[in-house]
Structure 1
Amino acid sequence: MKYYEVEILDAKTREKLCFLDKVEPNATIAEIKNLFHKTHPQWYPARQSLRLDPKGRSLKDEDILQNLPVGTTATIYFRDLGAQISWVTVFLTEYAGPLVIYLLFYFRVPFIYGRKYDFTSSKYSVVHLACICHSFHYIKRLLETLFVHRFSHGTMPLRNIFKNCTYYWGFAAWMAYYINHPLYTPPAYGHEQVKLALIIFLFCQLGNFSIHIALRNLRPAGSKTRKIPYPTKTPSHGFSYWSPALIIPMR
């Protein structure tokens, strides 16, 4: 069997980082990453970007060495992607935050509305309905993350989670503060406004769930295949946006 020699250089400095001898021709980039990780434990596979050109695109984990435009002595360039975090952890963090934050305002924990309102409850049923809807929305998202979603990429840069959480957590706090405020007043158009908002909210929840199931079925379990959905434009993000937004008209 003809073996390959793989030389891994730093994409920025061109410094030789690793030399792999007797690499099998059918070895994948994922396997090469694992071999590189053994010599440099600080760079785990998810943190590695391997490429044939210092400024070129990253090679896919499933790419096979012998199918690449390289000779028996291959030069591959390494770039550090920085600390990574799994997408499952990202979504769980994004969605658990709003669930907890909203409940803090709902139960009126100390230091939010003033001492005399600590752990008091609203006298309006619509406030409790809004809490149920908001909690349902994010519990649904948490369960979908664990049991429905299939991810084409295992990780993302750790620094991005702070930006993502700022959006979800901040919006939840903004809504919760006003909806659960002791000076809250009922909706301007009464029960009819609440009923309409609730119906649309439930419709969006069902629509969002159906789209997530459809997208899940486009990617076989354990694969990174990306099929084009039909119709080519899905309303998933629209349903996701309107679901929490419709909690506001309930007030």
Structure 2
Amino acid sequence: MKVSVEKQRRSSKGPSKGGAPQTANISSPVEFELSEGASVLDLKNQIQKKMKVPVVQQRLTIDGGKKVLEDKSLVKNYELEDKVVALKDLGPQISWKAVFLIEYGGPILIHLAIYKMQSLFYGQKFVHSPAQRAMFFMAIFHYLKREYETLFVHRFSHGTMPFSNLFKNCFHYYVLGGVLLAYFNYMPSGGLGTPVADNMSSFRIAISILLFIASEFSNYSTHVTLKNLRPAGSTVRKIPYGYGFDMVSCPNYLFEILSWLSYAIISPSYFTWLFIIVSSAQMYLWAVKKHKAYKKEFPNYPKSRKALFPYIA
């Protein structure tokens, strides 16, 4: 079985009128001889040897880019006899596991530094209030939990992403969830003996901590549910059921929002609310996208479910 592959690149002329990036061929089609039982991944391995494009950087499409060739599918199923496969080099990639570890590791170090190095960041020494200690341990617990889930719970449907996207992804966690959240919540003006601390009751702090713990473990429970839906090493998709999923498609996002709302109960900083608003908006967009994908893929998907917020949206 012969397959023709043509390498493409982005055009220097910029986007087309419709907004899609234009592509231009930079090589003549290259012929590959494959067995009848060859998979798309087998084809990619041959492309790596012959055209020097690493497997993780390859995106193979047909029909003008409308159909992507999936790694585990058989090449013969795409009926490529009279077609040319378009090869796009995605550029340097980084694994999603590494992305998450880097994203969540940054805020841990930032919170630790700002909380512990008072003289460096605030120019003075002071004693943190009970509320500040609670916020510190909540933030550290949250990001350590995310690191643990990345290593031992999450199963990724996509192996890699473009390395260039890493810096954009880290901005939210490092700046909003790291620097701004830490600096303005651990300030001397909220330290022990200040009016801010004196007006913060122990009951309010306790409620904040209890709601935070409940939300975090609820979030963890939904991640375990999603893990159990997908066998290791596969990209299988099924309809999730169980705690949280009976009401919304993405309860993991809902419980994460509730975690930060619990944190906000004892936070004196407006930047906490900025962080929550930006995070919630992004998670809502992700939830709507996943909700639509579920409904499109599964005809029997529960119609009563909302995307993120029960009974609302």
TM (norm. structure 1) is 0.89
Asked if structure 2 preserves the Cα contact closer than 8 Å seen for 1:105 and 1:180, the reply is: yes
**Alignment match of 2:219 (pick from 200, 208, 217):** 208
Asked if structure 1 preserves the Cα contact closer than 8 Å seen for 2:2 and 2:32, the reply is: yes
**Alignment match of 1:130 (pick from 131, 135, 157):** 135
Q: Are 2:290 and 1:250 aligned?
A: no
Quote the offset at 1:40 in angstroms: 2.8
- Counterparts of 2:40 and 2:111, CA distance in 1: 44
Q: Are 2:198 and 1:180 aligned?
A: no
**Alignment match of 1:240 (pick from 237, 246, 256):** 256
1:2-43 per-residue CA deviation (whole Å, 9 max, x = no partner) reads: xx112211243343253223x1011111111111001233x2
Q: Are 2:41 and 1:30 aligned?
A: yes
Partner SS, residue 55 of structure 1 = coil
1:43-101 per-residue CA deviation (whole Å, 9 max, x = no partner) reads: 21111111122332221111211211222x76211112222110001100110011111
Distance of aligned partners of 1:134 and 1:113 in 2 relative to their CA distance in 1, 3 Å threshold = same
**Alignment match of 2:63 (pick from 53, 57, 64):** 53
Q: Which residue of 2 aligns with 1:77?
A: 86
Distance of aligned partners of 1:245 and 1:157 in 2 relative to their CA distance in 1, 3 Å threshold = farther
Asked if structure 2 preserves the Cα contact closer than 8 Å seen for 1:101 and 1:173, the reply is: yes
Pairwise CA RMSD of aligned residues?
A: 1.9
Percent identical across equivalent pairs? 32
- Counterparts of 1:244 and 1:187, CA distance in 2: 23
**Alignment match of 1:86 (pick from 95, 118, 127):** 95
TM (norm. structure 2) is 0.72
Choose between structure 1 and 2 for higher RCO, CA contacts under 8 A separated by at least 6 residues. Answer: 1
The aligned amino acid for 1:46 is V
Asked if structure 2 preserves the Cα contact closer than 8 Å seen for 1:197 and 1:249, the reply is: yes
Q: Which residue of 2 aligns with 1:19?
A: 31
Distance of aligned partners of 1:140 and 1:24 in 2 relative to their CA distance in 1, 3 Å threshold = same
Partner SS, residue 183 of structure 1 = helix
Q: Which has the higher helix share?
A: 2
Q: Which residue of 1 aligns with 2:231?
A: 220
Partner SS, residue 88 of structure 1 = helix
Q: Are 2:5 and 1:8 aligned?
A: yes
Q: Which residue of 1 aligns with 2:289?
A: none
- Counterparts of 1:137 and 1:170, CA distance in 2: 16
Q: Identify unmatched segments of 5+ residues in structure 1.
A: none
Q: Which residue of 1 aligns with 2:17?
A: none
Partner SS, residue 183 of structure 2 = helix
Q: Are 2:173 and 1:168 aligned?
A: yes
- Counterparts of 1:174 and 1:187, CA distance in 2: 23
Asked if structure 1 preserves the Cα contact closer than 8 Å seen for 2:6 and 2:86, the reply is: yes
Distance of aligned partners of 1:123 and 1:62 in 2 relative to their CA distance in 1, 3 Å threshold = closer
1:174-207 per-residue CA deviation (whole Å, 9 max, x = no partner) reads: 1111221112131744112111111110110110
Q: Identify unmatched segments of 5+ residues in structure 2.
A: 9-22, 191-195, 268-313
- The aligned length equals 241
